[in-house]
């Protein structure tokens, strides 16, 4: 993780200095969430691995309704599966298989 220290340090500095950060909107805040996703694009490799491991679990997780936490003011992105969702689906499929 040492190669990513500057990213976490930058995020911490922004969080400490900006007392107006609303965690209800964390998905649209680069310093809180944005640095861990691939511009929001779907991770096709993770989803393909999930399908190969267990298609039934993949379908269950892929079609599971997401929490609205973090989507304040970007509710239109709520139903979209993003990069982090793809990785979560892969890990959950792997673990529960």
Asked whether the beta carbons of 43 and 62 are under 8 A apart, the reply is no
Q: Tell which residue, 49, 33, 50, 48, has the closest CA to residue 84.
A: 33
Q: What is the dihedral angle through the alpha carbons of 14, 5, 35, 61, rounded to the nearest 10 degrees?
A: -130
Alpha carbon distance 34, 21 (integer Å) = 14
Higher-confidence position of 85 and 52: 52
> Using one digit for the tens of pLDDT, what is the confidence trace for 28-75?
666 666 555 555 678 899 999 999 999 999 999 999 877 766 666 766
> Using one digit for the tens of pLDDT, what is the confidence trace for 14-26?
767 766 666 666 6
SS3 state at 92: helix
57 token code pair: 């679990």
Output the pLDDT for position 59.
Answer: 95
Asked whether the beta carbons of 38 and 46 are under 8 A apart, the reply is no
Asked whether the beta carbons of 25 and 73 are under 8 A apart, the reply is yes
């Amino acid at each position: 993780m040492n190669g990513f220290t500057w990213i976490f340090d930058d995020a911490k500095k922004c969080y400490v200095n900006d007392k107006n950060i609303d965690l209800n909107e964390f998905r649209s805040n680069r310093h809180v969430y944005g640095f861990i996703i691939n511009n929001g694009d779907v991770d096709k490799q993770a989803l393909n691995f999930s399908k190969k491991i267990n298609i039934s679990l993949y379908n269950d997780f892929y079609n599971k309704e997401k929490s609205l936490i973090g989507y304040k003011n970007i509710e239109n992105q709520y139903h979209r599966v993003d990069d982090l969702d793809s990785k979560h689906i892969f890990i959950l499929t792997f673990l529960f298989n």
